[in-house]
Amino acid sequence: MKRLIIVLTIVFTGCAGRINPLQVSGTSHDSLALAQDIEAQICWGVADAYSAPKDSKIHCTAPLASTIGLTDARHKDINTKLSQAFLLHRSLNSLAESGGNVDYTALNALIQEVLAIVAQLQQAPQVVQLANAVKAGGK
Amino acid sequence: MTPQELQAWIAIAQQATSIGLSLYGTVHKWITESHPLLTPDQQKAAFDAIGADDLVRANLAAQAAGEK
């Protein structure tokens, strides 16, 4: 029994140190993508960021946006940070693919900046979902 | 070793085997879920798909921010 516990401890410890880089990158990407889609839903009332209006993307038109205080200025700030986050994530993803040591510090810092903007919005279920998705984008 | 002692050892061994099998099942499930068995080509395709969508979404966000 003692041996079994020792073997299982070694297995657990060994596996804990080998978290799948693809899984980490995929989870982080999906969370950021979900955050972007929720922001698009709040701002324009569309299904996702791909369905953004063709013109005047810089203005939020959905009634919910004004209700919760998603002004055009906050919409711009959030999307500026999200754009930087996706570009940074792309670099980290390439690094992970090549087997390099991936440092998520800069991405986590960007995510904190997005969260600070989201914290200025009025409380609503969609805002909570947005905050949770943004948080999950970090590591 | 008396027959009673032998019986007791068999019972302990059976219990240990049962616990071991149960733990093995849990560990195996965890490893399988954490480390999907993708071929190198499938892994590369998955990484490439993530990177491609990162770029598209970065552009969408930049447009929403009025940068493009």
Residue B11 contacts A where some CB pair is shorter than 8 Å: no
Q: Is the CB of B60 less than 8 angstroms away from the CB of A52? A: yes
Which of A50, A49, A68, A70 has the alpha carbon at shortest distance from A60? A70
Q: Is the CB of B16 less than 8 angstroms away from the CB of A97? A: no
Residue A51 contacts B where some CB pair is shorter than 8 Å: no
pLDDT value of position A15: 43
| Chain B contact probe: residue of A11, A19, A55, A79 with most B CBs at under 10 A | A79
> Per-residue pLDDT for chain A (139 aa), expressed as one digit of tens each?
555 444 444 444 444 444 589 999 999 999 999 999 999 999 999 999 999 999 889 999 999 999 999 999 999 999 999 999 999 999 999 999 999 999 999 999 999 999 999 999 999 999 999 999 999 998 7
- ipTM score: 0.85
Predicted model pTM: 0.75
